[in-house]
């Protein structure tokens, strides 16, 4: 279960991050942000277990705990 | 054959044999730029005088017996995200007005040390944040997109406006325009080529690599630019890359994906790529059907990493001069500010899982072969694609879809031309291997290209 941001909420949350959105942009930014949120949201299906994030990762190194 | 028509390998041989002067070669390429650039807009800046001076220097050195290597005297271009000392790195953006790079990027420094001749800087989709490069026209059909974000580099190579070029690849930005313009593009293993002095789109996903006419050419460039630079925290020392044997493919296991890579692909693209895969089998390879793991999560991981990282990189300028960004890029950067840390961490954790699952997939195969992009170059202005299964997808999402896994997992990925559709537009096949097995994709690509006629041909531009 999740929720979408209204244009006003998007503007408030952007301002919270120090980004002042022009008045005419709230709706477009909210729509885009909601779409991005929806796409990334599929990751909540995954059971990550003990899997750490791959921050300073090196290609080729295996994490012994990873399971799909 | 005019000098601008020579591949890097052919030009290198001729220069080494002193049959061709670097000055002649550079003059020929500059004349070609003059003849076709008006139709293509591949370049942001052409530095003709400096290029001719560099070519003259190369000629003197070679005549004095000081040949530096296979790239000596070869004219090339850099995507305008890559710093060259004293020149602006515009990122094809008004945000960068007045910018001048203080020092060479790693790749510019290495290519300079190899004796190449810098022709100028090529167009990118603004700050690499797109798959179209709208300023630039496809070399095969000027009414169609160049692809992106390294569109300028791909078109320059395809049209003979550069003997080779450099690009960057965060979600396909070398491979997409290379495939759409019928040239070779290599995204090396993550960390193999340092990104020092390259404007970032997404630190987790950015790669630097060459666009060339042939696979053999790409191998020569990779040898010059791979290395370790501690200034790039992702940089690692990889294996020596100085031998790319040919021969046949006996003993090689080529994975053919059962899922993801042939889903929602244009029939002519699928036909060309499956034909090329059959050719690999004829050359001795064993074909193995494989399941690509976690395919459902590719787009989510790509966006979960790229969107917040791009916004973070542009934090200051997005607040100071937002109106200088192009509309599409500005919107993505602003929306990225609303991506949560939780989403970013989920993407990074899923990335660990995907990397490990792909490593297990490569336990059973040596190379994964697939289309590079689902369809050939679309008409400029087309925004969406309708698939036979009734779904609709944006053009950008479609072009990223088959490239993103290699950015997420860091595996080397090479695109090479394998045919044309009925409209004459190029089709690319993508070869991927385990991390740091760049030599494997280059070897397989080279064996394939040696078995087919007319590898490395230029786009047929009318004079």
Contact criterion met (CB below 8 Å) for B21 and B59 = yes
| Residue A57 reports pLDDT greater than 80 | no
| pLDDT at residue number A2 | 86
Burial B48-65 (b: 16+ CB within 10 A, else e): eebbbebbbebbebbeee
Residue range B143-184, pLDDT digits in tens: 999 999 999 999 999 999 999 999 999 999 999 999 999 999
Using an 8 Å CB-CB cutoff, list chain A residues near B237. Answer: none
| pLDDT at residue number B289 | 98
Residue B143: burial class (beta carbons within 10 Å; 0-12, 13-18, 19+): exposed
Average pLDDT on A20-41 reads 96
Q: Which of residues 31-50 of A touch B (CB under 8 A)?
A: 32-33, 36-37, 39-44, 46, 48
Q: Measured between alpha carbons, how far is B294 from B277 in angstroms, rounded to an integer?
A: 23
Residue range B189-200, pLDDT digits in tens: 999 999 999 999
| Residue A60 reports pLDDT greater than 80 | no
Average pLDDT on A12-38 reads 96
Q: Do A5 and B338 touch (CB under 8 A)?
A: yes
| CA B288, chain centre distance (Å) | 27
Could you tell me how many CB contacts below 8 A there are between chain A and chain B?
Answer: 131
Residue of B nearest to A9 (CA): B338
Q: Do A33 and B339 touch (CB under 8 A)?
A: yes
Mutate to test the interface with A, among B130, B297, B340, B356 (most CBs of A within 10 A): B356
Mutate to test the interface with B, among A15, A21, A40 (most CBs of B within 10 A): A40
Mutate to test the interface with B, among A34, A54, A58 (most CBs of B within 10 A): A54
Q: Do B355 and A59 touch (CB under 8 A)?
A: yes
Using an 8 Å CB-CB cutoff, list chain B residues near A3. Answer: none
| Residue A56 reports pLDDT greater than 60 | no
Catalytic residue among B28, B93, B149, B396: B149
B149 catalytic residue (yes or no):
yes
- Contact residues for B396 (Cβ-Cβ < 8 A; gap 6+): B130, B131, B132
Q: How many CB atoms lie within 10 A of CB B451?
A: 15
Q: Measured between alpha carbons, how far is B93 from B91 in angstroms, rounded to an integer?
A: 5
Closest listed residue to residue B151, CA positions, set B164, B163, B134: B134
Of A19, A46, A55, the CB nearest to B334: A19
Average pLDDT on B318-323 reads 96
* Residue percentage of chain B with pLDDT more than 90: 95
Of B335, B345, B355, the CB nearest to A36: B335
Asked if residue B40 is part of any domain, the answer here is: no
Show me where the domains of chain A are located. Answer: 1-68
| pLDDT at residue number B3 | 97
Q: List, edge to edge, every strand of the sheet that includes B117-122.
A: B43-46, B117-122, B75-79, B164-169, B207-212, B184-187, B413-420, B426-433, B367-371, B253-257, B286-290
Least confident of A60-64, B124-128, B215-219, B307-311: A60-64
Q: What is the CATH number of the domain that holds B414?
A: 3.90.1300.10
Q: Which helix (H) or strand (E) holds B186?
A: strand B184-187
Average pLDDT on B313-341 reads 96
Q: Which long-range contacts (CB under 8 A, 24 or more apart) does B33-40 make?
A: B33/B119, B33/B161, B35/B463, B36/B159, B36/B160, B36/B161, B36/B461, B37/B161, B39/B137, B39/B142, B39/B461, B40/B136, B40/B137, B40/B139, B40/B142, B40/B155, B40/B156, B40/B159, B40/B161
A1 touches chain B (CB under 8 A): no
Asked if residue B268 is part of any domain, the answer here is: yes
| pLDDT at residue number B453 | 79
| pLDDT at residue number B455 | 82
| pLDDT at residue number A32 | 97
Greatest Cα-to-Cα distance within chain B, rounded to the nearest angstrom = 65
Catalytic residue among B79, B150, B187, B200: B79
Asked if residue B109 is part of any domain, the answer here is: no
Average pLDDT on B353-378 reads 97
Q: Do A13 and B338 touch (CB under 8 A)?
A: yes
A11 touches chain B (CB under 8 A): no
> C-alpha angle with apex B127: B121 to B130, nearest 5 degrees?
110
Number of domains in chain B: 1
| Residue B327 reports pLDDT greater than 70 | yes
Q: Measured between alpha carbons, how far is B347 from B233 in angstroms, rounded to an integer?
A: 20
Name the H helices within B129-242. Answer: 151-158, 175-180, 215-225
Average pLDDT on B116-132 reads 96
| pLDDT at residue number A55 | 76
pLDDT band at A58 (very low <50, low <70, confident <90, very high): low
Residue range B90-122, pLDDT digits in tens: 999 999 999 999 999 999 999 999 999 999 999
Closest listed residue to residue A53, CA positions, set B336, B236, B346: B346
SS3 of A59, please? coil
Q: Higher-confidence residue: B409 or B237?
A: B409
B21 catalytic residue (yes or no):
no
Q: Measured between alpha carbons, how far is B107 from B110 in angstroms, rounded to an integer?
A: 5
Q: Which domain holds residue B405?
A: 122-150+158-295+347-451
Least confident of B235-239, B253-257, B444-448: B235-239
Closest listed residue to residue B156, CA positions, set B32, B14, B9, B23: B32
Mutate to test the interface with A, among B206, B295, B321, B350 (most CBs of A within 10 A): B350
Residue range B57-94, pLDDT digits in tens: 999 999 999 999 999 999 999 999 999 999 999 999 99
Q: Do B338 and A58 touch (CB under 8 A)?
A: no
Q: Do B355 and A46 touch (CB under 8 A)?
A: no
| Mean per-residue pLDDT over chain B, rounded | 96
CA distance A31 to chain B (A): 9
Average pLDDT on B255-259 reads 98
> C-alpha angle with apex B166: B165 to B168, nearest 5 degrees?
145
| pLDDT at residue number A61 | 52
Q: How many CB atoms lie within 10 A of CB B296?
A: 13
| Residue A68 reports pLDDT greater than 80 | no
Q: Do A40 and B347 touch (CB under 8 A)?
A: yes
Using an 8 Å CB-CB cutoff, list chain B residues near A56. Answer: 233-234
| pLDDT at residue number B242 | 59
Contact criterion met (CB below 8 Å) for B333 and B314 = yes
Average pLDDT on B310-339 reads 96
Dig out the tokens for B43 from the structure: 């370049």
B173 catalytic residue (yes or no):
yes
Using an 8 Å CB-CB cutoff, list chain A residues near B236. Answer: 58
Residue of B nearest to A35 (CA): B335
| pLDDT at residue number B241 | 67
Would you call the peptide bond into B372 cis, given omega within 30 degrees of 0 as the criterion?
no
Q: Do A14 and B346 touch (CB under 8 A)?
A: no
Least confident of A49-58, B274-283, B312-321, B399-408: A49-58
Q: Do B338 and A53 touch (CB under 8 A)?
A: no
Q: Do A37 and B319 touch (CB under 8 A)?
A: no
Asked if residue B368 is part of any domain, the answer here is: yes
SS3 of B25, please? helix
Integer angstrom CA distances of residue B290 from B111, B256, B282, B363, B421:
38, 6, 19, 11, 26
Is the ipTM above a cut-off of 0.85?
A: yes
């Amino acid at each position: 279960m999740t929720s979408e941001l209204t244009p006003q909420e998007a503007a408030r949350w952007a301002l919270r991050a120090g980004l002042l959105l022009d008045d005419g942009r709230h709706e477009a930014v909210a729509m885009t942000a909601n779409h991005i949120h929806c796409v990334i949201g599929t990751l909540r299906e995954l059971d990550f277990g003990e899997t750490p994030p791959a921050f300073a990762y090196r290609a080729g190194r295996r994490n012994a705990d990873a399971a799909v | 054959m005019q000098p601008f028509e020579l591949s890097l390998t052919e030009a290198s041989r001729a220069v080494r044999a002193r049959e061709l002067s670097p000055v002649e070669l550079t003059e020929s390429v500059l004349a070609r730029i003059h003849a076709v650039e008006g139709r293509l807009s591949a370049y942001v800046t052409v530095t003709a005088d400096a290029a001719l001076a560099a070519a003259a220097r190369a000629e003197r050195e070679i005549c004095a017996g000081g040949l530096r290597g296979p790239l000596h005297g070869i004219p090339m271009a850099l995507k305008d995200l890559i710093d060259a000392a004293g020149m602006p790195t515009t990122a094809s953006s008004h945000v960068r007005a007045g910018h001048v790079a203080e020092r060479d990027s790693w790749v510019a420094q290495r290519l300079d040390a190899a004796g190449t001749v810098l022709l100028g800087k090529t167009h990118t989709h603004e700050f690499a944040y797109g798959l179209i490069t709208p300023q630039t026209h496809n070399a095969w059909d000027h009414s169609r997109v160049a692809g992106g974000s390294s569109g300028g580099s791909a078109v320059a190579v395809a049209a003979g406006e550069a003997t080779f070029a450099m690009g960057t690849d965060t979600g396909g930005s070398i491979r997409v325009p290379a495939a759409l313009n019928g040239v070779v593009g290599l995204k090396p293993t993550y960390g193999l080529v340092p990104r020092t002095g390259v404007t970032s789109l997404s630190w987790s996903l950015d790669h630097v690599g060459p666009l060339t006419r042939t696979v053999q050419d790409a191998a020569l460039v990779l040898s010059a630019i791979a290395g370790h630079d501690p200034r790039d925290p992702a940089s690692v020392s990889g294996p020596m890359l100085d031998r790319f044997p040919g021969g046949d493919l006996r003993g090689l296991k080529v994975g053919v994906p059962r899922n993801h890579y042939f889903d929602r692909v244009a029939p002519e693209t699928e036909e060309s790529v499956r034909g090329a895969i059959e050719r690999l089998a004829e050359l001795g390879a064993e074909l193995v059907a494989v399941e690509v793991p976690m395919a459902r999560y590719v787009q989510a991981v790509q966006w979960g990493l790229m969107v917040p990282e791009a916004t973070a990189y542009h934090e200051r300028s997005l607040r100071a001069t937002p109106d200088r960004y192009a509309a599409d890029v500005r919107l993505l950067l602003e929306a990225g500010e609303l991506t949560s840390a939780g989403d970013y961490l989920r993407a990074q954790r899923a990335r660990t899982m995907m990397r490990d699952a792909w490593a297990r997939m490569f336990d059973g195969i040596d190379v994964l072969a697939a289309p590079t992009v689902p369809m050939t170059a679309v008409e400029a202005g087309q925004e969406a694609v309708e698939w036979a299964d009734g779904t609709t997808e944006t053009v950008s999402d479609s072009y990223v879809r088959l490239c993103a896994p290699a950015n997420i997992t860091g595996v080397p990925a090479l695109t090479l031309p394998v045919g044309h559709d009925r409209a004459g537009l190029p089709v690319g096949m993508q070869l991927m291997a385990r991390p740091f097995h760049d030599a494997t994709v280059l070897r397989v690509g080279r064996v394939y290209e040696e078995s087919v006629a007319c590898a490395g041909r230029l786009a047929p531009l009318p004079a």
